[in-house]
Structure 1
Amino acid sequence: MNERYEYVPHRLLRHRVRDIASGVEGELMAVIHENVSDSIACERWMELAYIRDASGREFTTAIHNIDPVSRQA
């Protein structure tokens, strides 16, 4: 594939999630299958979750590091 990234559908898009690695919560804005290597000789692809926290800043984490945040009544 020649593209550097590709959007991936995900059931938690636009839902509140928690990054289990950092404990930070936010809204899942996108999941992108992205080439994260720094070499053209050896590509390394992974799915990254883009999360927007309460301050509006977005950060990334591996898609396997997110859990949905349950709403409490």
Structure 2
Amino acid sequence: MRERYEYVPHRLLRRRVRDIASGVEGELMAVINENVSCTSVERWVELAYVRGASGREFTTSVGNIEPAE
């Protein structure tokens, strides 16, 4: 079994982005391909880690982020 996560390069890293699912804006801190499986069958998803104005980070699907204008 591979590591449980791996960092993925992204063109918006360290830039201001918007999570289209929630409308919250923040700085894209990392994109990580994470193994979220609870069984022996691996399931990998790419998650975006965004730091909001409060300083707390939240995750969302990479497909939900867009550059903030």
TM range (shorter): over 0.9
Identity of aligned residues (%): 77
Greater strand proportion? 2
Cα distance in 2 for partners of 1:36, 1:47 equals 10
Moved over 6 A (4+): none
Equivalent residue, structure 2, for 1:54 = 53
TM-score (normalizing by structure 2) = 0.95
Alignment of 1:1-73 (within 5 A): 1-39=1-39, 41-70=40-69
The C-alpha deviation readout for 1:7-63, integer Å capped at 9, x for no partner, is 000000000000011111000000001101222x11110110000000000000010
Gaps spanning 5+ residues in structure 2: where?
none
Deviation, 1:5, is 0.4
Larger CA Rg, structure 1 vs 2? 1
Gaps spanning 5+ residues in structure 1: where?
none
TM-score (normalizing by structure 1) = 0.90
Cα distance in 1 for partners of 2:25, 2:36 equals 23
